[in-house]
Amino acid sequence: MFSAILTWAGAILGIAVLLAMAFGPVVADFDAGRFKRHFRRRAHRENHSEVG
- Count of domains in the chain? 1
Between these two residues, 19 and 49, which has the higher pLDDT value? 19
Could you read off the pLDDT of 6-39 as tens digits, one per residue? 999 999 999 999 999 998 888 777 777 777 776 6
Residue 41 lies in a domain: yes
The answer on pLDDT for 52 being more than 50 is no
Q: Which domain holds residue 31?
A: 24-52
pTM summary value:
0.51
Helix (H, G, I), strand (E, B) or coil at 50: coil
Residue 34 falls within a domain, yes or no?
A: yes
Report which residue type is found at 3: S
Query: Using CA atoms, how far apart are residues 43 and 46, in angstroms rounded to an integer?
Result: 5
Q: Is residue 39 part of a domain?
A: yes
Tell me the per-residue pLDDT of 32-47, one tens digit each, with 9 for 90 and over: 777 777 666 666 666 6
Task: Establish if 46 belongs to a structural domain.
Answer: yes
* Residue 4 confidence (pLDDT) above 50: yes
